[in-house]
Amino acid sequence: MADTAEGQTRTAISAAMQQSVGSELSRMVSYPVSESDIRKWALAVYYPEEPPARFWDEEAAASSRQGGIVAPEDFNPFAWLRAHPKGVSRSSAATDADSTERSLGIDGPHLVNQLNGGVSVEYGEPIRPGDVITSVTRLGQYREREGSLGLMLLTPMETTWTNQRDEMVKRSTLVLIRY
Amino acid sequence: MFDVASLTVGHELEPFSRLTDLAVWNRYAAVNDEYVPIHMDDEAGRAAGLPGAIGMGNLQWAYLHNLVRQWIGEQGRVVKMACQFRNLNLRGQTVTARGRVTGVDRGPDGTDVDLEVWTEDQDGNKLAPGTCTVRLDG
């Protein structure tokens, strides 16, 4: 609940939404990460300058502390296509502000827009070519506040990535802002 | 290379800077599947109550990692990172990632260094402030 400037209290959090806190929102498995995936990612995040050689040159990477090519920490192995669930991702999820709750089979908050409010990550094992990453995301505790754009609903999404050896790759929390 | 033993609070990292135009945004959208209308189209941005198309928060996130990786080189690894997306990255802005040391903890397994990190526009307005911890050898 959030208090308005007029002293009123309003909320976009329904009972069904509150009861869904802790639920699994998604489970994804990547295709095996390729050296080409890592090279393209590095080119994009350092564009227009050349990325460090350890991200694209096997010889340079072999003499690095990792002993071979590894992905930048911010690499995403789930973009465009996943091994599970199969098929091209639906881009509408990025613009549908109710998609989080809809994926749980409940009504959303019926807010219009959504933005990425912030992220925190703890890193474990680096991602190497050939790795298959599993991502599990759970719904965190909703919060609300009044902002410049009106009632703002803050939704934490808590995600853990593991590799095929069940080693932790990263634990992250992304806060979705809806208004 | 820098001397880990002489590292102190207040040390400033060499900045990482990029002009964020559509070519930059497009490259990132291409690898991260972020062809979202508000990131590509001024009309879509305005329809969402924004000044126009806005840059992807994930790209700010990547620039913060580039900043830290550029600094630690082969001397350590990123342990954790956090940031908030406080202000919008508009097309044509020059975004600079900066950082400074806020804590140094020397232990048997290496030196843990806490950092204040942030991105800012060409006028010094902070876009994505955050924190980071790295573990350095030695």
Task: Mark whether A11 and A42 lie in a shared domain.
Answer: no
Task: Mark whether A41 and A111 lie in a shared domain.
Answer: no
Given A17, A45, A76, the domain boundary residue is A76
Asked if the C-beta of A63 comes within 8 angstroms of chain B's C-beta atoms, the answer is no
Interval B100-121: pLDDT, tens = 999 999 999 899 999 999 999 9
Interval A117-155: pLDDT, tens = 899 999 999 999 999 999 999 999 999 998 877 899 999
B36, A117: Cβ pair inside 8 Å?
no
The pLDDT score that the predictor gives to residue A88 is 77
Q: Is the confidence at residue A91, as pLDDT, over 60?
A: no
Asked if the C-beta of A46 comes within 8 angstroms of chain B's C-beta atoms, the answer is yes
Asked if the C-beta of B48 comes within 8 angstroms of chain A's C-beta atoms, the answer is yes
| Shortest alpha-carbon distance between residue A54 and chain B (Å) | 10
| Shortest alpha-carbon distance between residue B133 and chain A (Å) | 9
| Count: domains in chain A | 2
Task: Mark whether A100 and A159 lie in a shared domain.
Answer: yes
Closest residue of A to B32, CA-based?
A: A79
Neighbours of A50 (CB within 10 A): 11
Asked if the C-beta of B80 comes within 8 angstroms of chain A's C-beta atoms, the answer is yes
B65, A89: Cβ pair inside 8 Å?
no
Q: Which residue has the higher pLDDT, A113 or A129?
A: A129
The pLDDT score that the predictor gives to residue B64 is 98
- Going by their DSSP bridges, the two strands A24-29 and A150-162 should be labelled as unpaired
| Count: domains in chain B | 1
CB B98 within 8 A of CB B117: yes
CB B75 within 8 A of CB A57: no
3-state secondary structure of A4: coil
Residue B76 amino acid letter: G
Given A21, A48, A76, the domain boundary residue is A76
Q: Which of B27, B37, B130 sits opposite A44 (nearest CB)?
A: B27
The pLDDT score that the predictor gives to residue B2 is 76
The pLDDT score that the predictor gives to residue A8 is 67
Q: Is the confidence at residue A93, as pLDDT, over 60?
A: no
- Going by their DSSP bridges, the two strands A168-178 and A114-123 should be labelled as antiparallel
Task: Mark whether A169 and A156 lie in a shared domain.
Answer: yes
Q: Is the confidence at residue A94, as pLDDT, over 80?
A: no
Asked if the C-beta of A168 comes within 8 angstroms of chain B's C-beta atoms, the answer is no
Crossing angle of helices A35-46 and B57-72, in 10° steps, is 100
Q: Is the confidence at residue A82, as pLDDT, over 90?
A: yes
Nearest to B17 by CA among B134, B100, B124, B114: B124
pLDDT bin (cut points 50, 70, 90) of residue A168 is: very high
Asked if the C-beta of A76 comes within 8 angstroms of chain B's C-beta atoms, the answer is yes
Range of the domain at A137: 2-30+91-178
Nearest to B59 by CA among B93, B37, B89, B87: B89
Name the DSSP letter for residue B65: H
* Placement of tokens 């807010």 in the chain: A111
A-B CB pairs within 8 A amount to: 88
Closest residue of A to B37, CA-based?
A: A95
- Going by their DSSP bridges, the two strands A9-10 and B76-84 should be labelled as unpaired
CB B95 within 8 A of CB B119: yes
Query: Taking all residues of chain A, what is their mean pLDDT, rounded to a whole number?
Result: 92
| Shortest alpha-carbon distance between residue A146 and chain B (Å) | 15
User: In angstroms, rounded to a whole number, what is the distance separating the alpha carbons of residues B14 and B98?
Assistant: 7
Q: Is the confidence at residue A110, as pLDDT, over 70?
A: yes
Q: Is the confidence at residue A58, as pLDDT, over 90?
A: yes
The pLDDT score that the predictor gives to residue A112 is 87
Instruction: List all residues 6 or more positions away from B124 whose beta carbon is below 8 Å from its beta carbon.
Output: none
Range of the domain at B74: 4-136
Task: Mark whether A70 and A155 lie in a shared domain.
Answer: no
Q: Is residue A81 one of the residues assigned to a domain?
A: no
pLDDT bin (cut points 50, 70, 90) of residue A169 is: very high
CB B130 within 8 A of CB B84: yes
Name the DSSP letter for residue A81: B
pLDDT bin (cut points 50, 70, 90) of residue A3 is: low
The pLDDT score that the predictor gives to residue A108 is 92
Q: What is the rounded (10 degree) CA torsion for A101, A106, A111, A113?
A: 30
Chain A residue numbers touching B31 (CB-CB < 8 A): 40-41, 44, 76, 79
pLDDT bin (cut points 50, 70, 90) of residue A4 is: low
User: In angstroms, rounded to a whole number, what is the distance separating the alpha carbons of residues B59 and B28?
Assistant: 7
Q: Is residue A84 one of the residues assigned to a domain?
A: no
Chain A residue numbers touching B66 (CB-CB < 8 A): 45-46, 72
The angle formed by the CA atoms of residues B15, B16 and B19, to the nearest 5 degrees, is: 125
CB B11 within 8 A of CB B102: no
Task: Mark whether A17 and A59 lie in a shared domain.
Answer: no
CATH assignment of the domain containing B53: 3.10.129.10
Testing the interface with B: which of A75, A121, A159, A172 to mutate, by most B Cβ within 10 A? A121
Looking at chain A, the whole-number percentage of residues with pLDDT higher than 90 is: 78
* Placement of tokens 């080189």 in the chain: B73
Testing the interface with B: which of A41, A47, A65, A70 to mutate, by most B Cβ within 10 A? A47
Asked if the C-beta of B62 comes within 8 angstroms of chain A's C-beta atoms, the answer is yes
Crossing angle of helices B22-32 and B57-72, in 10° steps, is 90
- Going by their DSSP bridges, the two strands B16-20 and B76-84 should be labelled as unpaired
| Shortest alpha-carbon distance between residue B59 and chain A (Å) | 7
Q: Which residue has the higher pLDDT, B7 or A150?
A: B7
Instruction: Please give the structure tokens belonging to residue B129.
Output: 């402030």
Chain A residue numbers touching B74 (CB-CB < 8 A): 64-65
Task: Mark whether A55 and A24 lie in a shared domain.
Answer: no
Q: Is residue A85 one of the residues assigned to a domain?
A: no
Interval B25-84: pLDDT, tens = 999 999 999 988 889 999 999 998 889 999 999 999 999 999 999 999 999 999 999 999
Task: Mark whether A96 and A18 lie in a shared domain.
Answer: yes
Task: Mark whether A174 and A97 lie in a shared domain.
Answer: yes
